[in-house]
Chain A
Amino acid sequence: MMDNRDDWPDAILEGDLDSVDGLDAEVRRSAELIARDARNMNAVLGAMADRVSEGLPQVGEQHAAHPRRRASLRRWAFAPLAAAAVVAALILVRGGAIDERSEPDPSAGVPRAPSMMAEMDVEAVRPFVVFPTTDPDIAVVWLFNSEDSD
Protein backbone atom coordinates (compact mmCIF):
# COMPACT_ATOMS: atom_id res chain seq x y z
CA MET A 1 0.00 0.00 0.00
CA MET A 2 1.59 3.23 -1.14
CA ASP A 3 0.43 5.52 1.67
CA ASN A 4 3.44 7.80 1.82
CA ARG A 5 4.28 10.24 -0.92
CA ASP A 6 7.84 9.00 -0.85
CA ASP A 7 6.52 5.67 -2.16
CA TRP A 8 5.30 7.25 -5.35
CA PRO A 9 7.56 7.68 -8.39
CA ASP A 10 8.69 11.21 -9.13
CA ALA A 11 6.97 10.99 -12.51
CA ILE A 12 3.60 10.80 -10.83
CA LEU A 13 4.36 13.66 -8.45
CA GLU A 14 5.27 15.72 -11.51
CA GLY A 15 1.90 15.01 -13.08
CA ASP A 16 2.97 12.35 -15.57
CA LEU A 17 -0.04 10.10 -15.27
CA ASP A 18 0.85 8.09 -18.34
CA SER A 19 3.17 6.05 -16.17
CA VAL A 20 0.18 4.57 -14.29
CA ASP A 21 -1.88 3.60 -17.33
CA GLY A 22 -1.45 -0.06 -16.56
CA LEU A 23 -2.78 0.21 -12.98
CA ASP A 24 -6.39 -0.11 -11.80
CA ALA A 25 -8.82 2.78 -11.46
CA GLU A 26 -8.42 3.21 -7.71
CA VAL A 27 -4.66 3.47 -7.90
CA ARG A 28 -4.90 5.82 -10.84
CA ARG A 29 -7.36 8.01 -8.91
CA SER A 30 -4.96 8.13 -5.95
CA ALA A 31 -2.17 9.07 -8.32
CA GLU A 32 -4.29 11.88 -9.74
CA LEU A 33 -5.00 13.24 -6.25
CA ILE A 34 -1.35 13.13 -5.28
CA ALA A 35 -0.37 14.80 -8.54
CA ARG A 36 -2.94 17.52 -7.87
CA ASP A 37 -1.69 18.04 -4.31
CA ALA A 38 1.87 18.25 -5.57
CA ARG A 39 0.78 20.74 -8.21
CA ASN A 40 -0.99 22.88 -5.61
CA MET A 41 2.02 22.83 -3.29
CA ASN A 42 4.35 23.66 -6.15
CA ALA A 43 2.09 26.60 -7.01
CA VAL A 44 2.44 27.93 -3.47
CA LEU A 45 6.17 27.24 -3.26
CA GLY A 46 6.71 28.76 -6.67
CA ALA A 47 5.04 31.97 -5.54
CA MET A 48 7.14 31.97 -2.39
CA ALA A 49 10.32 31.35 -4.37
CA ASP A 50 9.51 34.24 -6.69
CA ARG A 51 9.09 36.51 -3.68
CA VAL A 52 12.46 35.45 -2.31
CA SER A 53 14.25 35.85 -5.63
CA GLU A 54 12.91 39.39 -5.98
CA GLY A 55 14.78 40.34 -2.82
CA LEU A 56 18.03 38.51 -3.56
CA PRO A 57 21.07 40.59 -4.57
CA GLN A 58 22.12 40.45 -8.21
CA VAL A 59 24.62 37.66 -8.92
CA GLY A 60 27.62 38.41 -11.10
CA GLU A 61 27.81 36.78 -14.53
CA GLN A 62 30.71 34.57 -13.55
CA HIS A 63 28.71 33.08 -10.69
CA ALA A 64 25.32 32.88 -12.38
CA ALA A 65 23.77 29.44 -12.86
CA HIS A 66 23.36 28.11 -16.39
CA PRO A 67 20.25 29.86 -17.79
CA ARG A 68 18.71 26.62 -19.10
CA ARG A 69 18.78 25.01 -15.69
CA ARG A 70 17.87 28.14 -13.69
CA ALA A 71 14.07 27.87 -13.93
CA SER A 72 13.95 24.16 -13.09
CA LEU A 73 16.48 24.52 -10.26
CA ARG A 74 14.45 27.37 -8.76
CA ARG A 75 11.26 25.33 -8.64
CA TRP A 76 12.46 21.81 -7.91
CA ALA A 77 15.74 21.98 -6.06
CA PHE A 78 15.54 25.33 -4.24
CA ALA A 79 11.82 25.34 -3.41
CA PRO A 80 12.26 23.92 0.11
CA LEU A 81 15.15 26.31 0.78
CA ALA A 82 13.15 29.17 -0.71
CA ALA A 83 10.20 28.29 1.49
CA ALA A 84 12.35 28.37 4.61
CA ALA A 85 14.04 31.58 3.50
CA VAL A 86 10.82 33.43 2.81
CA VAL A 87 9.34 32.34 6.13
CA ALA A 88 12.46 33.57 7.92
CA ALA A 89 12.38 36.81 5.94
CA LEU A 90 8.76 37.43 6.83
CA ILE A 91 9.51 36.84 10.48
CA LEU A 92 12.59 39.06 10.54
CA VAL A 93 11.30 41.88 8.37
CA ARG A 94 8.59 43.53 10.46
CA GLY A 95 7.09 46.93 10.92
CA GLY A 96 6.87 47.96 7.30
CA ALA A 97 10.55 47.38 6.58
CA ILE A 98 9.60 45.65 3.34
CA ASP A 99 8.22 48.93 2.04
CA GLU A 100 11.36 50.91 2.76
CA ARG A 101 12.85 52.46 -0.35
CA SER A 102 16.45 53.65 -0.82
CA GLU A 103 15.75 56.32 -3.41
CA PRO A 104 14.34 59.68 -2.31
CA ASP A 105 10.59 59.81 -2.22
CA PRO A 106 9.21 62.59 -4.42
CA SER A 107 6.19 62.83 -2.13
CA ALA A 108 8.30 63.40 0.98
CA GLY A 109 6.45 65.40 3.58
CA VAL A 110 3.03 64.12 2.46
CA PRO A 111 1.39 61.82 5.03
CA ARG A 112 1.26 58.27 3.66
CA ALA A 113 -1.18 55.55 4.66
CA PRO A 114 0.47 52.71 6.58
CA SER A 115 1.24 49.60 4.58
CA MET A 116 -1.40 46.88 4.85
CA MET A 117 1.32 44.28 5.26
CA ALA A 118 2.87 46.24 8.13
CA GLU A 119 -0.42 46.50 10.01
CA MET A 120 -1.88 43.02 9.52
CA ASP A 121 -0.07 41.32 12.45
CA VAL A 122 -1.38 37.90 11.42
CA GLU A 123 -1.78 35.18 14.06
CA ALA A 124 -2.73 31.59 13.38
CA VAL A 125 -2.29 28.16 14.91
CA ARG A 126 -1.14 26.63 11.62
CA PRO A 127 2.03 27.70 9.81
CA PHE A 128 1.33 30.48 7.36
CA VAL A 129 2.90 32.81 4.82
CA VAL A 130 1.71 36.31 3.99
CA PHE A 131 1.84 37.48 0.37
CA PRO A 132 1.45 41.09 -0.69
CA THR A 133 -0.26 41.73 -4.02
CA THR A 134 -0.09 44.42 -6.66
CA ASP A 135 -3.21 45.92 -5.04
CA PRO A 136 -2.10 47.72 -1.84
CA ASP A 137 -5.45 46.89 -0.19
CA ILE A 138 -5.38 43.13 -0.87
CA ALA A 139 -3.12 40.64 0.92
CA VAL A 140 -3.04 36.85 0.95
CA VAL A 141 -2.53 34.78 4.09
CA TRP A 142 -1.76 31.18 3.14
CA LEU A 143 -2.27 28.65 5.94
CA PHE A 144 -0.59 25.32 5.40
CA ASN A 145 -2.68 22.21 5.86
CA SER A 146 -1.29 19.39 7.94
CA GLU A 147 -1.27 17.02 4.96
CA ASP A 148 0.78 19.51 2.94
CA SER A 149 3.59 19.26 5.45
CA ASP A 150 3.81 15.44 5.33
Chain B
Amino acid sequence: MTRILKRSFRCAAIVPLVLGPLSDAVTAQERETTADFQQVRFRFYLVQADGFTEQDPEIADVVLELRKLFNFRGYRLVSTPVVNVVLEDRSGLRRWDGSGIQRIVVGDAEVPWELSVDVSAPPSSPTIRVDVSLTSIVPWSIRENAIRDPVEVYLEASVTIRDGQTVVLGSTRTSAEEPVLILVLTPEFDPT
Protein backbone atom coordinates (compact mmCIF):
# COMPACT_ATOMS: atom_id res chain seq x y z
CA MET B 1 0.00 0.00 0.00
CA THR B 2 2.82 2.32 0.88
CA ARG B 3 4.61 1.45 -2.37
CA ILE B 4 1.46 2.18 -4.35
CA LEU B 5 1.10 5.51 -2.66
CA LYS B 6 4.75 6.38 -3.32
CA ARG B 7 4.38 5.47 -6.98
CA SER B 8 1.28 7.60 -7.21
CA PHE B 9 3.07 10.56 -5.72
CA ARG B 10 6.00 10.13 -8.11
CA CYS B 11 3.63 10.03 -11.10
CA ALA B 12 1.76 13.02 -9.82
CA ALA B 13 5.04 14.93 -9.58
CA ILE B 14 6.38 13.79 -12.95
CA VAL B 15 3.27 14.56 -15.01
CA PRO B 16 3.30 18.32 -14.47
CA LEU B 17 7.08 18.38 -14.99
CA VAL B 18 6.59 16.77 -18.40
CA LEU B 19 3.48 18.62 -19.46
CA GLY B 20 4.68 21.99 -18.20
CA PRO B 21 7.27 22.63 -20.92
CA LEU B 22 4.92 21.19 -23.55
CA SER B 23 2.17 23.59 -22.60
CA ASP B 24 4.63 26.47 -22.69
CA ALA B 25 5.70 25.42 -26.18
CA VAL B 26 2.12 25.32 -27.37
CA THR B 27 1.41 28.74 -25.88
CA ALA B 28 4.51 30.20 -27.49
CA GLN B 29 3.55 28.72 -30.85
CA GLU B 30 0.04 30.13 -30.55
CA ARG B 31 1.45 33.52 -29.65
CA GLU B 32 3.78 33.46 -32.64
CA THR B 33 0.94 32.46 -34.99
CA THR B 34 -1.44 35.22 -33.88
CA ALA B 35 1.34 37.86 -34.07
CA ASP B 36 1.76 37.41 -37.86
CA PHE B 37 -0.95 39.94 -38.61
CA GLN B 38 -3.36 42.26 -36.90
CA GLN B 39 -6.81 43.43 -37.89
CA VAL B 40 -7.82 47.01 -37.31
CA ARG B 41 -11.33 48.33 -37.84
CA PHE B 42 -11.60 52.09 -38.36
CA ARG B 43 -14.95 53.63 -37.54
CA PHE B 44 -15.39 57.04 -39.13
CA TYR B 45 -18.02 59.65 -38.49
CA LEU B 46 -18.40 62.48 -40.99
CA VAL B 47 -20.05 65.35 -39.14
CA GLN B 48 -21.46 68.67 -40.36
CA ALA B 49 -21.00 71.57 -38.00
CA ASP B 50 -23.09 74.67 -37.52
CA GLY B 51 -26.77 75.19 -38.07
CA PHE B 52 -28.20 71.94 -36.66
CA THR B 53 -30.12 71.49 -33.46
CA GLU B 54 -30.76 67.73 -33.56
CA GLN B 55 -28.95 65.46 -31.10
CA ASP B 56 -27.28 62.42 -32.63
CA PRO B 57 -26.51 59.71 -30.01
CA GLU B 58 -23.75 58.10 -32.13
CA ILE B 59 -21.55 61.17 -31.83
CA ALA B 60 -22.77 62.37 -28.44
CA ASP B 61 -19.43 61.97 -26.67
CA VAL B 62 -17.50 63.74 -29.44
CA VAL B 63 -20.08 66.54 -29.68
CA LEU B 64 -19.82 67.01 -25.93
CA GLU B 65 -16.10 67.70 -26.26
CA LEU B 66 -16.55 69.87 -29.37
CA ARG B 67 -19.09 72.04 -27.57
CA LYS B 68 -16.52 72.71 -24.86
CA LEU B 69 -14.04 73.89 -27.48
CA PHE B 70 -16.02 75.59 -30.21
CA ASN B 71 -19.18 77.65 -30.56
CA PHE B 72 -20.60 75.95 -33.65
CA ARG B 73 -24.37 75.89 -33.63
CA GLY B 74 -25.02 72.18 -33.54
CA TYR B 75 -23.64 69.08 -35.23
CA ARG B 76 -25.17 66.50 -37.56
CA LEU B 77 -23.94 63.03 -38.51
CA VAL B 78 -23.64 62.74 -42.30
CA SER B 79 -21.96 59.39 -42.87
CA THR B 80 -20.53 56.49 -40.86
CA PRO B 81 -18.05 54.62 -43.06
CA VAL B 82 -16.14 51.63 -41.70
CA VAL B 83 -12.77 50.60 -43.10
CA ASN B 84 -11.23 47.24 -42.19
CA VAL B 85 -7.47 46.97 -42.52
CA VAL B 86 -5.22 43.93 -42.09
CA LEU B 87 -1.74 44.76 -40.89
CA GLU B 88 0.92 42.28 -41.96
CA ASP B 89 4.59 42.15 -42.78
CA ARG B 90 4.66 42.53 -46.56
CA SER B 91 8.17 43.77 -47.04
CA GLY B 92 10.06 41.48 -44.71
CA LEU B 93 11.32 44.49 -42.77
CA ARG B 94 9.58 43.51 -39.54
CA ARG B 95 7.05 46.23 -39.99
CA TRP B 96 3.33 45.82 -40.50
CA ASP B 97 1.53 47.70 -43.22
CA GLY B 98 -2.03 47.79 -44.45
CA SER B 99 -4.50 50.02 -46.23
CA GLY B 100 -8.18 50.38 -46.96
CA ILE B 101 -10.51 52.50 -49.07
CA GLN B 102 -14.15 53.36 -48.71
CA ARG B 103 -16.37 55.47 -50.95
CA ILE B 104 -18.94 57.65 -49.28
CA VAL B 105 -21.69 59.92 -50.53
CA VAL B 106 -21.82 63.29 -48.84
CA GLY B 107 -25.12 65.09 -48.90
CA ASP B 108 -26.37 65.83 -52.41
CA ALA B 109 -22.98 65.45 -54.04
CA GLU B 110 -23.18 63.80 -57.47
CA VAL B 111 -19.74 62.26 -57.18
CA PRO B 112 -18.83 60.08 -54.17
CA TRP B 113 -15.89 60.89 -52.01
CA GLU B 114 -13.03 58.51 -51.29
CA LEU B 115 -11.86 57.83 -47.78
CA SER B 116 -8.49 56.09 -47.68
CA VAL B 117 -6.47 54.81 -44.77
CA ASP B 118 -2.82 53.75 -44.83
CA VAL B 119 -1.55 52.16 -41.65
CA SER B 120 1.90 51.16 -40.48
CA ALA B 121 3.22 49.91 -37.15
CA PRO B 122 5.89 47.75 -35.55
CA PRO B 123 4.62 44.19 -35.00
CA SER B 124 2.27 43.89 -32.02
CA SER B 125 2.77 47.57 -31.18
CA PRO B 126 0.18 49.29 -28.95
CA THR B 127 0.20 52.28 -31.34
CA ILE B 128 -0.31 52.55 -35.07
CA ARG B 129 0.59 55.27 -37.54
CA VAL B 130 -2.44 56.24 -39.63
CA ASP B 131 -2.48 58.33 -42.81
CA VAL B 132 -6.03 59.46 -43.47
CA SER B 133 -7.22 61.27 -46.57
CA LEU B 134 -10.66 62.36 -47.71
CA THR B 135 -10.72 63.24 -51.38
CA SER B 136 -13.06 63.65 -54.28
CA ILE B 137 -12.86 61.34 -57.28
CA VAL B 138 -13.87 61.67 -60.89
CA PRO B 139 -15.79 58.78 -62.49
CA TRP B 140 -13.90 56.74 -65.06
CA SER B 141 -16.44 57.60 -67.73
CA ILE B 142 -15.32 61.20 -67.98
CA ARG B 143 -11.62 60.59 -67.60
CA GLU B 144 -9.48 60.71 -70.72
CA ASN B 145 -6.83 58.36 -69.39
CA ALA B 146 -6.93 55.26 -67.22
CA ILE B 147 -5.10 56.84 -64.32
CA ARG B 148 -7.49 57.93 -61.59
CA ASP B 149 -6.34 61.03 -59.75
CA PRO B 150 -8.20 62.60 -56.90
CA VAL B 151 -9.52 65.98 -57.90
CA GLU B 152 -9.51 67.66 -54.53
CA VAL B 153 -8.09 66.76 -51.15
CA TYR B 154 -10.63 67.71 -48.47
CA LEU B 155 -8.80 66.37 -45.44
CA GLU B 156 -5.40 64.77 -45.07
CA ALA B 157 -3.36 64.11 -41.97
CA SER B 158 -1.16 61.55 -40.25
CA VAL B 159 -1.48 60.65 -36.59
CA THR B 160 -0.25 58.02 -34.16
CA ILE B 161 -3.10 56.48 -32.23
CA ARG B 162 -3.95 53.65 -29.83
CA ASP B 163 -6.78 51.17 -29.71
CA GLY B 164 -10.05 52.89 -28.79
CA GLN B 165 -8.75 56.45 -28.93
CA THR B 166 -10.61 59.05 -30.98
CA VAL B 167 -9.14 61.73 -33.23
CA VAL B 168 -11.35 64.53 -34.48
CA LEU B 169 -10.08 65.95 -37.78
CA GLY B 170 -11.50 69.29 -38.82
CA SER B 171 -12.23 71.03 -41.00
CA THR B 172 -13.23 71.13 -44.61
CA ARG B 173 -16.23 71.86 -46.79
CA THR B 174 -17.16 71.37 -50.40
CA SER B 175 -18.01 75.00 -51.06
CA ALA B 176 -18.39 78.30 -49.28
CA GLU B 177 -22.14 77.77 -49.02
CA GLU B 178 -21.84 74.42 -47.28
CA PRO B 179 -21.27 73.97 -43.53
CA VAL B 180 -17.97 72.86 -42.09
CA LEU B 181 -17.24 69.12 -42.21
CA ILE B 182 -15.42 67.24 -39.47
CA LEU B 183 -14.07 63.69 -39.71
CA VAL B 184 -13.92 61.58 -36.55
CA LEU B 185 -11.97 58.35 -36.49
CA THR B 186 -11.61 55.57 -33.91
CA PRO B 187 -9.53 52.41 -34.45
CA GLU B 188 -10.49 49.08 -32.95
CA PHE B 189 -7.64 46.56 -32.73
CA ASP B 190 -8.50 42.90 -33.42
CA PRO B 191 -12.26 43.38 -33.60
CA THR B 192 -14.38 40.35 -32.74
Chain A positions near chain B (C-beta within 8 angstroms): 33, 36-37, 39-40, 42-44, 46-47, 116, 119-126, 128, 131, 133-135, 137-143, 145, 147
Contact = CB atoms under 8 A, between A and B. Distances in A.
Nearest to A116: B165
A27 B61 CA distance: 38
Contact of B68 (A116, A125, A134, A145): A134
B82 interface: no
A143 B157 CA distance: 9
Interface in B167-183: 167-173, 176-177, 180
Contacts of B70: 43-44, 46-47
Contacts of A142: 170-171
A51 to B, nearest CB: 9
Nearest to A133: B65
Interface of B: 49-50, 61-62, 65-66, 68-72, 127, 155-162, 164-173, 176-177, 180
B159 A140 contact: no
Chain A interface mostly helix, strand, loop or mixed? mixed
A137 B155 CA distance: 21
Given A123-B157, A135-B61, A141-B159, 8 more contacts: A122-B159, A124-B156, A124-B157, A135-B166, A138-B165, A140-B167, A143-B171, A147-B176
A43 B71 contact: yes
Contact of A122 (B72, B157, B170): B157
A39 B71 contact: yes
Chain B interface mostly helix, strand, loop or mixed? strand
Nearest to B129: A121
A138 B168 contact: yes
Nearest to A44: B70
Nearest to A51: B69
A116 B158 contact: no
A141 B167 contact: yes
A43 B157 contact: no
A94 to B, nearest CB: 13
A74 B84 CA distance: 45
5 contacts: A122-B157, A124-B156, A134-B68, A137-B162, A143-B171
B160 to A, nearest CB: 5
B50 A138 contact: no
Given A134-B65, A138-B168, A140-B66, A120 B159 contact: yes
